A = this chain, B = another copy of it.
Amino acid sequence: MTDSIIVQKFGGTSVGSIDRIRAVAEQVIKTKEHGHSVVVVVSAMSGETNRLQVLANQVDTLPSSRELDVLLSAGEQVSMSLLAMTLQKLGHDAVSLTGWQAGIQTDEKHAQARIIGINTDAINQQLQLGKIVIVAGFQGITEQGNISTLGRGGSDTTAVTLAGYLGAKECQIYTDVDGVYSCDPRVVTAARKLDTIGFQDMIDMAKYGAKVLHLPCVEFAEQHNLPIRVLSSFSPLQGTLVKAQESSGGVVGVALRRNLMQITSNNETIDKLVAQCNEQELEVFRVLSKDQSGVVVSQVDLAKLMQVIHEEAVHIDDVCSVSLIGRSNLSSIQALEALLAEDDIEIVSHSLCERHTMMLLAPEYLDKAANIIHDVYVDQNELLSVSKRRVS
Contacts and interface: CB of A to CB of B under 8 A. Distances in A.
A179 to B, nearest CB: 30
Interface in A76-123: 77-78, 80-82, 84-86, 88-89, 95-96, 98, 100-101, 122
B101 A82 contact: no
B84 A64 contact: yes
A64 B85 contact: yes
Main secondary structure of the interface of A (DSSP, over half): helix
Given A59-B18, A77-B77, A88 B100 contact: no
Contact of A58 (B18, B68, B147): B18
A348 interface: no
A82 B71 contact: yes
A52 B78 contact: yes
Given A18-B58, A122-B145, A145-B122, A80 B85 contact: no
A74 interface: yes
Contact of A70 (B77, B88, B89): B77
Interface residues of A, number: 36
A315 to B, nearest CB: 43
A77 B78 contact: no
Contacts of A95: 66-67
Contacts of A122: 145
Nearest to A60: B89
A85 B101 contact: no
Nearest to A80: B70
A305 interface: no
Interface of A: 18, 21, 52, 55-56, 58-60, 63-64, 66-68, 70-71, 73-75, 77-78, 80-82, 84-86, 88-89, 95-96, 98, 100-101, 122, 145, 147
